[in-house]
Amino acid sequence: MSPITGILAAVATPFDDDEQIVESALRAHVRRQLDAGVHGIFALGTNGEFYAQSSAERADATRMVIDEVAGRAPVVIGAGAATTRETVAIAQDAADAGADALSIITPYFAAASQAEIANHFRAVAESVDVPVVVYNIPARTGNAVAPATLEKLAEVDNITAVKDSSGNFDTILQYLERTDRESFDVISGNDSLILWTLIAGGAGGISGIANIYPKTMASIYDLFLSGDSSAARAAQDSIRPIRNCLALGNPNTVVKYAANVREFGLGPARAPFNALSDEAKRQIEETVAGDLERGLA
């Protein structure tokens, strides 16, 4: 099984105004998540702005996160890239650094057939000896992992989970139908679908909103596990206002700005993804203020 159960925080990578990684802020943010009760750390994913960092920067950030977590929770490192060659190199480095699992995004920009997608994941899985999580986010990559393809990939020994960020709940259901829940985990990468994924038999969620409200996100799983379905539903529903704000700009930029409203010190997103309008900022600020009044944390 993969080390993904419950809510993993898809941690943002803090930058200063010169777009340099701020190690102290990254370590503090990891501690913030663990102290809030999240069940694992997912670093260098979409919210971690992996696409805006060099391989060397990603390697440095990987080591900072793993060192700070220090075995207190599972660490999943985003190790994907556009080509198989580059992905293998990044994946091997992250595995050597001590990652508990690797998230591998589908190849992106160039169109890929299902055969090419399957070949890519198999090659990466064969290059490392840690669990591999298939990351499906077709709106960003242009390439989707079909349920039939995932069914075949789930037969590979160390491909142990899928993170689905398609936003299509039927995709999650088809992934669940085609894989063995005892040996393969299906995880929601969409914060709005975490509870529904758990109800359907999934293992949990990887949450960008945890950057803003880590306790609230962790509680969705904890309440579900305890059998308090109404409270779990209330926690799930409570993030709707901030989720609505994601339409105001690049979602990763919105998440960082909202976290900074809470004085979490994540800095700006890397250019050009750093230019929220004044109106967007106002709406985010008002939403966070309202959320805090309602008890989100």
- Residue 234 structure tokens: 């209330």
How far is Cα 196 from Cα 172, in angstroms, rounded to an integer?
Answer: 10
- The answer to whether 163 is a known catalytic residue is yes
- Residue 164 structure tokens: 């689905």
Residue 265: exposure state from Cβ atoms within 10 A (0-12, 13-18, ≥19): middle
Q: Cα 151 to the chain's mean position, in Å?
A: 22
The single-letter code of the amino acid at 176 is L
- The answer to whether 213 is a known catalytic residue is no
Does residue 138 have a cis peptide bond before it, meaning omega lies within 30 degrees of 0?
no
Q: List the catalytic residue out of 51, 108, 135, 175.
A: 135
> Which of 73, 53, 74, 64 has the alpha carbon at shortest distance from 130?
74
Encode burial over 187-198: b for 16+ CB neighbours within 10 A, e otherwise: bbbbbbbbbbbb
- Pairing mode, strands 132-136 and 40-43: unpaired
242 is in an annotated binding site: no
How far is Cα 107 from Cα 249, in angstroms, rounded to an integer?
Answer: 24
Residue 273: exposure state from Cβ atoms within 10 A (0-12, 13-18, ≥19): middle
How far is Cα 263 from Cα 185, in angstroms, rounded to an integer?
Answer: 34
Q: List the catalytic residue out of 51, 108, 152, 163.
A: 163
Residue 264 phi, psi (nearest 5): -90, -5
Binding residues for pyruvate: 206
Q: Which residues are part of the catalytic machinery? A: 135, 163
